[in-house]
Amino acid sequence: MTLAPLAPDPAWTGARRAASVLVTGAGGPAGVAVVRRLVALGHRVVAVDADATAAGLALADAGLVVPRATSRAFVDVLVAVCTLHGVDALIGTVAEELPALAAGADQLAAVGVATWLPDPAAVEACCDKATFAARMHAAGVPHPACAAEVTEIARVPGPWIVKPRTGRGSRGVRALDDQAAVVAALLEDTTLIAQTRLSGREFTADALVARDGRLLAVVPRWRDETKAGISVKGTTFDSSAVTTVVADALAAVRLTGPANVQGFVADDGRATVVEINPRFSGGLPLTLAAGADVVSTYLVGIRDASAPLPPLSFRAGVRMSRYFAETYTSEDGAPVDDPCTGTAVSR
């Protein structure tokens, strides 16, 4: 798998001209889930990632390595990939790529690639945890008290969670019980913030918001077990309290498209939002299994901005237990048989 091929994809030339969907971030759980769903529905999928060993590259019809979004060449390479592979729609699954994609939307549109990207201001509000806390406070959405400066610690009750102002998963997150330790941490690293550590049961809600702000789906699930910040066991549930706080939080940041909202439900049933990720979640397969096909609905909205998108329903009480699976590639390009199934699984 190499950087953008220099010859047109034979699957796109000649008689076969079925439009393809480009999925970025094919190495992450969300990217893998989106690729798998689209392939299962019969779409032709082109997956890209900055990592040549990303698992999703082997699951798609075509897998390609592209520069990171911080590279000046990122959008140019995506445009080349889309042109050569007949892509007409793009789904980004990495929040950090969204500003670059938004900046390059006109370039992509010029070669026939439709996008549906959130407002960069909404992405910034979600990705900066201090800004997000301030936005929730201003909108009256339940959110843990937050301190971005040492001078603000006194108004943030303990115990505390200290974490990077920007970041994903559980990277750099510490639970502290001593205020002096919190002060020391913030003095040592000015990129950290401190929040009151919430008690109760942790949830994630997958959501899809229409371009006009209508809430099309909220699918809450308990995070029954997590590893490295990714849910490996979960159960969907129905809660008006969670749906309301999720809707209010999304409206406060004016986010559209896919999102996953994380928070806690206290013992008395009150729901509190901790953060919003402006992308599909790593636990997306559970939402799909529960009946809310947010991927297909989002793709329809990408390809036709005026399409009437229906609200989505889901089943509560659907459980997920995750396990490892493997993809295989070979340096000579020859298929590699899966030792568990006996079928060729490389592309």
For residues 269 and 214, state if they share a domain. yes
In order, the DSSP letters of 55-66 are HHHHHSSEEEE-
Q: Which two tokens stand for residue 134?
A: 């301030």
Which residue shows structure tokens 């370039």?
A: 107
Does residue 126 sit within a domain?
no
For residues 210 and 278, state if they share a domain. yes
Domain boundary among 178, 196, 214: 196
Q: What is the pLDDT of residue 18?
A: 65
C-alpha–C-alpha distance, residues 179 and 153, integer Å? 8
For residues 67 and 161, state if they share a domain. no
Does residue 345 sit within a domain?
no
Write the CATH number for 259: 3.30.470.20
Write the CATH number for 100: 3.40.50.20
283 is in which domain, residue-wise?
201-321
Are 53 and 28 spatial neighbours (Cβ–Cβ below 8 Å)? no
For residues 248 and 226, state if they share a domain. yes
For residues 243 and 289, state if they share a domain. yes
Q: What is the pLDDT of residue 326?
A: 85
Q: What is the pLDDT of residue 343?
A: 67
Q: Which of 211, 118, 129 is nearest to 162 (CA)?
A: 129
Number of structural domains in the chain: 3
Which residue shows structure tokens 């659907």?
A: 318
Q: Which two tokens stand for residue 332?
A: 């000579």
pLDDT in tens, the chain (347 residues): 344 443 445 554 443 446 999 999 999 999 999 999 999 999 999 999 999 999 999 999 999 999 999 999 999 999 999 999 999 999 999 999 999 999 999 999 999 999 999 999 999 999 999 999 999 999 999 999 999 999 999 999 999 999 999 876 566 789 999 999 999 999 999 899 999 999 999 999 999 999 999 999 999 999 998 887 778 899 999 999 999 999 999 999 999 999 999 999 999 999 999 999 999 999 999 999 999 999 999 999 999 999 999 999 999 999 999 988 888 888 887 778 888 777 665 55
Does residue 327 sit within a domain?
no
Q: Where are the alpha helices (DSSP H) in the chain?
A: 29-40, 55-59, 74-85, 98-103, 105-110, 120-127, 129-139, 179-188, 240-253, 284-289, 294-303
Does residue 269 sit within a domain?
yes
For residues 214 and 185, state if they share a domain. no
For residues 179 and 205, state if they share a domain. no
Q: Which of 248, 256, 276 is nearest to 211 (CA)?
A: 256
For residues 206 and 316, state if they share a domain. yes
Q: What is the pLDDT of residue 13?
A: 46
For residues 188 and 294, state if they share a domain. no
Q: Which of 64, 9, 42, 89 is nearest to 329 (CA)?
A: 64
C-alpha–C-alpha distance, residues 78 and 113, integer Å? 10
Does residue 336 sit within a domain?
no
Say whether 280 sits in a helix, a strand or coil.
Answer: coil
Does residue 129 sit within a domain?
no
281: left (phi over 0), alpha (psi -120 to 50) or beta: beta
For residues 173 and 234, state if they share a domain. no
For residues 86 and 32, state if they share a domain. yes
Point out which residues pair with 261 in neighbouring strands.
Answer: 205, 276
Q: Which two tokens stand for residue 117?
A: 């990207």
For residues 163 and 220, state if they share a domain. no
Does residue 45 sit within a domain?
yes
Are 114 and 88 spatial neighbours (Cβ–Cβ below 8 Å)? yes
Q: What is the pLDDT of residue 324?
A: 85
